Structure 1
Amino acid sequence: MRIGIIGAGHIGSTLARHFTDLGEDVVIANSRGPETLADLVAEIGGGLKAGTAQEAAAFGEIVVVSIPYGRYRELPAAELRDKVVIDTMNYYPERDGQDADLDADATTSSEKVQEFTGADVVKAFNAIYWEHLRDRGRPAGDPARTAIPVSGNDTDTKNAVGDLISAIGFDAVDAGTLGRGGRKHQPGTPPYGAELTAHDLNALLNKS
């Protein structure tokens, strides 16, 4: 599978390592240019390459977006249109500036990303600490396996993202649609930052 990653911070670079370890071909981009990612590419090796955001978006069958939410309008919308996009972003007003729509809970950050890009967006990896994403992967069937909530409007797309989540050592739990489900694991909710098994996460999400 070809995977693009836009954003080379903690989450983006950790996912680049995981996906490359699976044998996937990955193109990662940041806002400063491919040349600034030379050390990361050399460290991870394998099928990882650096590119521009446009190149990462065009390359990926699945594209991870992991930049500050306040900069989502800088995403290459034309290249992302109709792609499967994994949105790891969260809205933090103190960092991103105030967003009246989100402050009023009229929509969610992922829905705004979907509207802007025309992509098939799945919300995932936004509620897990990056250190846990780096270190806590376990084999399938391990009773202590950590679960990751996933939200989206298309079941097949969520399943495809869930397969990737499972392959890197975590259990995907369907939280629901991009809007209703996404609200259940955004910042300030009980699942956000919680390290739970699939059974416990599912129970928590069903209380929302």
Structure 2
Amino acid sequence: MNTIGIIGAGEVGSQIARAAIANGYNIVIANSRDPETLKGLIEELGPSARAATPKEAAIVGDFVVIAVPLKVINNMPVEELAGKIVLDTNNYMIWRDGHIPVIDSGQKTVHELRQEQLPTSKVVKVFTHIQAPRITAWGKSSGSPDRLALAVSSNFPEAAELASKLYDQFGFDAVDHSPLSESWRNAPGQPAWKQERQTRSELAANLARAKPIVLT
């Protein structure tokens, strides 16, 4: 798998693109506007990157990163993402997203809703409790005693495995807390979310002591 499609060219999507290129991947990246608006980013990223539409990024990517918030109206390229592993970096932010009752009540996580939006894809939650600039700045070589860990969760073991491999390439350990119904454990407000630096054992402990936050 040599090409990553990225839908969303904001801070998170751009940082993942930088880290991916540094690790030998080709990138096809899209935003909600015309690909020409990404000219500056593509010039920075170099020959391993090109801009495209979301549909094209979904088609070309061996797997795809979605770095945009969940919207109640599904505007994702569902057909083009069919059968693919989709790495979802989204967090539920009420100030931005408004209230989503099934999340507020604890019935569903935001990533379960993304999986429902993309029923023929294999969604995996990634990069949701690290600030974007640190994706390229905080990675360390495997075996480093102070190597940081990031959480991953999915309903599909192969998706969690791919995400864990990508973490390792970027310089992070992985803690798998699948399935997506458990992905609330590192959501905003939880212990894992509040800690800037966590080793694998520290992250596992913080995930274990999470408590559901019910708003309704």
Identity of aligned pairs, percent? 38
**Counterpart in the other structure of 2:130:** 128
1:109-120 to 2 correspondence within 5 Å? 109-118=110-119, 119-120=121-122
* Separation in 2, partners of 1:58, 1:43: 24
* Separation in 2, partners of 1:132, 1:141: 19
Deviation (angstroms), 1:155: 1.7
* Separation in 2, partners of 1:154, 1:80: 15
* Separation in 2, partners of 1:72, 1:125: 24
* Separation in 2, partners of 1:187, 1:161: 20
- 8 A contact 2:136–2:170 mirrored in 1: no
Match 2:161 to one of 159, 162, 185: 159
Deviation (angstroms), 1:70: 3.1
**Counterpart in the other structure of 1:5:** 6
CA 1:2 to 1:71, structure 2 compared with 1: closer, same or farther past 3 Å?
farther
Please say if 1:174 is aligned against 2:176.
Answer: yes
Q: TM-score, normalised by structure 2?
A: 0.91
- Structure 1 spans left out of the alignment, 5+ residues: none
Over the aligned positions, Cα root-mean-square deviation in angstroms equals 1.3
Q: Which amino acid aligns with 2:7?
A: I
Deviation (angstroms), 1:93: 1.5
SS in 1 for 2:71: helix
**Counterpart in the other structure of 2:79:** 78
Per-residue displacement from partner, 1:188-208 (whole Å, max 9, x unpaired)? 111114220111111222334
* Separation in 2, partners of 1:130, 1:100: 28
* Separation in 2, partners of 1:189, 1:90: 12
Q: Which amino acid aligns with 1:39?
A: G
* Separation in 2, partners of 1:88, 1:8: 12
**Counterpart in the other structure of 1:17:** 18
State which drifts further: 144-153 or 128-137: 128-137
SS in 2 for 1:140: coil
CA 1:23 to 1:66, structure 2 compared with 1: closer, same or farther past 3 Å?
same
Per-residue displacement from partner, 1:34-71 (whole Å, max 9, x unpaired)? 10111111101131111000011111121000112236
Q: TM-score, normalised by structure 1?
A: 0.95
Please say if 1:139 is aligned against 2:141.
Answer: yes
**Counterpart in the other structure of 1:107:** 108
1:52-91 to 2 correspondence within 5 Å? 52-70=53-71, 73-91=74-92
* Separation in 1, partners of 2:134, 2:73: 25
Deviation (angstroms), 1:139: 0.7
- 8 A contact 1:11–1:130 mirrored in 2: yes
Q: Which amino acid aligns with 1:19?
A: A
- 8 A contact 2:149–2:200 mirrored in 1: yes
Q: Which amino acid aligns with 1:57?
A: A
CA 1:29 to 1:133, structure 2 compared with 1: closer, same or farther past 3 Å?
same
- Structure 2 spans left out of the alignment, 5+ residues: 211-216
How many residues end up aligned between the 2 structures?
A: 207
